[in-house]
């Protein structure tokens, strides 16, 4: 009887140990790929770092153009969560049956005129300096994200049209594939300036290199940014999705200039 109890106990221990190891392996394998609009580059990296510390879970974030990500999702890209800079992409994916639900609004973005510190382009919210430099023939390159698939590029186009500058600036545009690349062009010396996301201009890495002015919200369609879980979302993606709606994440987002749901409409 003693021997039998010993054998049973060891078998139970082995089964428990095997279950623990399988569970650990499953947790380690659950590292979702999150597709995020490039205006979130610095803000979301900080949120993700906080999430990892608090949850012990890991994730991989890929930053890029919202429109390109939407196309990739339709083509079967293995993203588990999608944070778009334009809620229409999420809404259309939901109508196509590719998401769990309609998602939630996580932020409202703003656009800014930004220039390198040594640029001859004056920085002002109403783009009067852009108009003046254009008139003088001294503005040769101006950076925005590609309006064809980047929401921040479309809002930049709307603002420039509002100011009556679009036609004159169009031949001088340097188009970034996404707003993060446009910010690199605008601040890195490839252009005298550009229109990019406030969240990028406020990031310490960018703020030390350039100056910016926030363009009036009335000059463009609101940047209503929506996130959603894809149909294949696992436990970690679900946990991060929930974390994005918690006070700790919202505080970080607010620090990068985003307006938050429930605080502004």
Q: How far apart are CA 232 and CA 40, in angstroms?
A: 23
Q: In the sheet that 193-197 helps form, which strands lie side by side, from edge to edge?
A: 173-176, 142-145, 193-197, 111-116, 210-214
Q: How far apart are CA 175 and CA 113, in angstroms?
A: 15
**Cβ neighbours of 187 (radius 10 Å):** 28
* Orientation angle between helical segments 235-243 and 41-55, nearest 10 degrees: 110
The string of pLDDT tens digits covering residues 87-113 is 999 999 999 999 999 999 999 999 999
Q: How far apart are CA 179 and CA 14, in angstroms?
A: 53
Q: What does each C-alpha distance from 88 to 85, 92, 95, 120, 162 come to in angstroms?
A: 9, 6, 11, 37, 22
Domains in the chain: ranges and CATH? 10-107+225-255 (3.40.190.10), 109-219 (3.40.190.10)
Q: What does each C-alpha distance from 58 to 28, 29, 96, 199 come to in angstroms?
A: 8, 10, 29, 24
> Chain-centre distance of CA 134, in angstroms?
31
Global pTM value:
0.87
Q: Indicate whether 221 pLDDT > 80.
A: yes
Q: Indicate whether 28 pLDDT > 70.
A: no
Residue pair 225/217 in contact (Cβ under 8 Å)? The answer is: no
The string of pLDDT tens digits covering residues 138-189 is 999 999 999 999 999 999 999 999 999 999 999 999 999 999 999 999 999 8
Q: What is the pLDDT of residue 263?
A: 81
The percentage of the chain sitting over the pLDDT mark of 70, rounded to a whole number, equals: 88
The percentage of the chain sitting over the pLDDT mark of 90, rounded to a whole number, equals: 85
Q: What is the pLDDT of residue 27?
A: 46
């Amino acid at each position: 009887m003693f021997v039998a109890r010993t054998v049973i106990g060891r078998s139970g221990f082995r089964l428990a140990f095997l279950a623990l190891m399988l569970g650990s392996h499953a947790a380690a394998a659950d590292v979702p790929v999150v597709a995020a609009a490039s205006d979130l580059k610095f803000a979301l990296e900080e949120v993700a770092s906080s999430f990892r510390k608090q949850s012990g879970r890991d994730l991989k974030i890929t930053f890029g153009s919202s429109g390109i990500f939407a196309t990739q999702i339709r083509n079967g890209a293995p993203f588990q969560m999608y944070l778009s800079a334009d809620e229409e992409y999420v809404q259309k994916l939901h109508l196509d049956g590719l998401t769990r639900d309609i998602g939630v609004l996580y932020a409202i973005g703003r656009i800014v005129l930004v220039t390198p510190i040594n640029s001859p382009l004056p920085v002002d919210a109403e783009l009067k300096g852009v108009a003046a430099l254009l008139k003088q023939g001294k503005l040769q390159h101006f950076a925005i994200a590609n309006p064809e698939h980047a929401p921040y590029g479309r809002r930049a186009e709307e603002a420039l049209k509002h100011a009556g500058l679009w036609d004159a600036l169009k031949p001088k545009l340097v188009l970034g594939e996404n707003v993060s690349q446009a910010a690199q062009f605008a601040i890195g010396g490839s252009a005298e300036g550009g229109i990019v996301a406030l969240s990028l201009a406020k990031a310490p890495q960018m703020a030390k290199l350039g100056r910016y002015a926030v363009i009036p919200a009335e000059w463009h369609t609101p940047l209503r940014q929506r996130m959603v879980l894809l149909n294949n979302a696992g436990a970690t993606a679900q946990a991060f999705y929930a974390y994005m709606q918690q006070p700790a994440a919202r505080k970080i987002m607010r620090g990068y200039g985003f307006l938050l749901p429930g605080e502004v409409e």
